[in-house]
Structure 1
């Protein structure tokens, strides 16, 4: 029950009270009665003994039916400062991402985020959102964006609708998180960034894999220098699976590179300090997909004074591979979400060797006993569910940006490099396309192409 509707006595249920003195004559007698002194005494008592800030006192309004004689002291709770209020969020799309990633997190953090509205084309999804989350549900996301009581919009629509819906959200004055892929091309992303600048709103890419505990540990090991100069880093987001949904179609910007690729590609760009690689070599193929988009991607990135970055996103890998393999001059690293292991030698304790140009006696091979130091890392209890951990860390940072004036950790300018690399990969690999047929996600039956503001 709202405090304003609570009986006056309820607001003081936990406040110790001392017996009230007998009431004297009131203003009806034409004199200043004892009631005024009685009320003043209570206020002074609470201020001195309970130390309630004076700003919490609500002016007393005598009841018209029983003036003053039954009056109670009422203290109104302090209004929560804006920087601590939950962020009012709306989610566009209630599919795998909108429901199972974003809304799932929001429901675990009501002190930070409040779901006020969702939008989805499908009626059953809207009904589920309304019944399970108690929020408003819209068939047309433009109607949702017309609201002025939303702090943050999450764009979790189908991939090919990310740019336009994000621009619509920014143009209507909302800070906007956009799911991956953020855009199809660098030029498309530039248009989105320009819309954010014009609206003076934040465009926040949802690249939560940068917060993955295993990736953060990998960075820590590399930065420690124990592996020496890093020669190559391989990142594999691979497995063996067949797929037949809309994300296997090029017309909806499907395929492994745009579906899964933004996760390892964002990590790859972080390893290159978000600088455009000097050389990009990419090979794509279709093997187990029922659509016309690729399900095998191999990318090699080369940049001067940086390690070779090898990214693989394959649905044709029947034998599990480590997510990360690091090659260094003093050792290496291998592992993934379940744990990392790295081994290296201490050059100060290694046998002294020197170059020998003449044939080795014997003949023989170069052999030595290097004492390798091995270390390992395993996720703690909070980190064991890497997927949940990444989302929690991402949204903690967004809350800090919107409520504590922190700087965004993940920016569209950083992601622009990733998009430019992906664009080049598509340029190098022209795959044939199936003719569009069936349900069109952007037709009259689907989402509008642009909101009118």
Structure 2
């Protein structure tokens, strides 16, 4: 039996920049637990974090990114530092001949992102953004439901990410690149783009507020998009909601789908046109029998579980992209469209107009 590409390939020498929540809590364990990656070094300005990482994973710690890259010569650099440092750290990784996997939001602007991608092209190395929501069961199952055309043409999508959190960490401040438009909207808008096939967006409305946060970066975001195809996308991102908000609802001409988060299932209500009574339109101004329009439709109900255990491993996809040249789970063009949307949101928020 021939060996798989993974079993016959040497692990990619991988360095991690940033040992905060996402770097320490997700990226470091994902690297050390994946046979295709070998954690050869970690960089963070705090000595206690470096010591903890070394104790946990036997990876040498560095207070200098430049020193780590020069001494360890990684194949891949995972960037989990604050957003304001992403361009600097990406440039350093490319300068030392490494590919880059960068956490979201990858950049503060489209112009900054273009500079990062250009640096990768000049170095002959790949840039990959970490956007895991688009491959999770919740969204993949919804896409399967929509592919069956049970709901008819989709005309509206509502998405909410809600909690009540009095934010007081670095992400509560604009100077650090914080705020929910950068933070959670990077996920929610990417979900919308993936769900609509990255359709062009005709108009963008955005309004932000600081409600419960201790800082000056928004903790409440309202976004309304309309695609060129006419789909209205309504996104609520709030850390000032003391009661839960329904996370997903998708509306079509023949039904709707609602995400039941506690049960981890989609609840679908729809009718089949062939089973519906004939619709007789009355154009006259006098309603027959003075009755309000009403009909009994033969609704069907469907419960579709989303199996999170079947979620692809983002590091599997990253390895296949870096080592085998397979397509990226999210392309640089798609990330650029995401960053353009965030910029249009900021423009709308500052002017009060559509962008």
**Structural mapping, 1:215-364, within 5 Å:** 215-335=139-259, 337=261, 338-358=264-284, 359-364=286-291
Q: 2:52 aligns with which of 128, 138, 151?
A: 128
When residues 134 and 340 of structure 1 are mapped into structure 2, their CA distance, relative to the original with a 3 A threshold, is: same
Q: After TM superposition, give the deviation of residue 166 of structure 1 in Å.
A: 1.1
2:306 to 376, 379, 383: 379
Q: CA deviation at 1:83?
A: 5.2
How far is 1:260 from its partner?
1.3
Deviations 1:208-258 (A, max 9, x none): 111111011111111211100101011111112211011000000100111
Which 4+ residue blocks in structure 1 deviate beyond 4 angstroms?
A: 80-83
Find the residue that maps to 1:278 and give its secondary structure. strand
Deviation track 1:57-86 (CA, whole Å, cap 9, x = no partner) reads xxxxxxxxxxxxxxxxxxxxx9x9885222
1:132 CA drift (Å):
1.1
**5 Å matches for 1:20-169?**
84-109=9-34, 111-147=35-71, 149-169=73-93
5+ residue gaps in structure 2?
none
Quick one: distance in 2 between partners of 1:306 and 1:91?
42
Q: CA deviation at 1:194?
A: 0.6
Question: How far does residue 274 in structure 1 lie from its aligned partner after superposition?
Answer: 2.3
1:370 to 287, 293, 297: 297
Q: Cα gap change, 1:282/1:381 in structure 2, threshold over 3 Å: closer, same or farther? A: closer
Structure 1 CA distance for aligned equivalents of residues 186 and 8 of structure 2: 32
Alignment RMSD: 1.9
Distance 1:83 1:402, change over 3 A: farther
Is the 2:100–2:127 Cα contact (8 Å) retained in structure 1?
A: yes
Distance of aligned partners of 1:225 and 1:142 in 2 relative to their CA distance in 1, 3 Å threshold: same
- Is the deviation greater in 200-209 or in 420-429? 420-429
Matched, 1:417 2:337: yes
- Mapping 1:191-230, distance limit 5 Å: 191-230=115-154
The change in CA–CA distance for 1:367 and 1:218 in structure 2 (over 3 A counts) is: same
Q: Given that residues 163 and 244 in structure 2 are in contact (C-alpha distance below 8 angstroms), is that contact kept between their aligned partners in structure 1?
A: yes
Q: TM-score, normalised by structure 1?
A: 0.73
Report the Cα offset of residue 336 of structure 1: 5.2
Structure 2 residue 353 is the aligned partner of structure 1 residue 428: no
Shift of 1:406: 1.3
Paired with 2:271 and 2:295, the residues of 1 have a C-alpha distance of 12
Question: 1:373 and 1:82 mapped to 2: Cα distance?
Answer: 48
The unaligned stretches of length 5 or more in structure 1 are 1-77, 384-388, 432-453
**Distance across 2 between alignment mates of 1:160 and 1:275:** 29
Residue 381 of structure 1, CA deviation: 6.4
User: Matched residues in 2 for 1:382 and 1:82: separation?
Assistant: 23
Deviation at 1:362, TM superposition (A): 2.1
Q: How many residues align?
A: 345
Q: Determine the C-alpha separation between the residues in 1 that align with 2:224 and 2:350.
A: 18
- Conservation of the 8 A alpha-carbon contact between 1:282 and 1:300: yes
More strand, by proportion: 2
Judge conservation of contact 2:42–2:59 (CA < 8 Å) in 1: yes
8 A contact 1:82–1:403 mirrored in 2? no
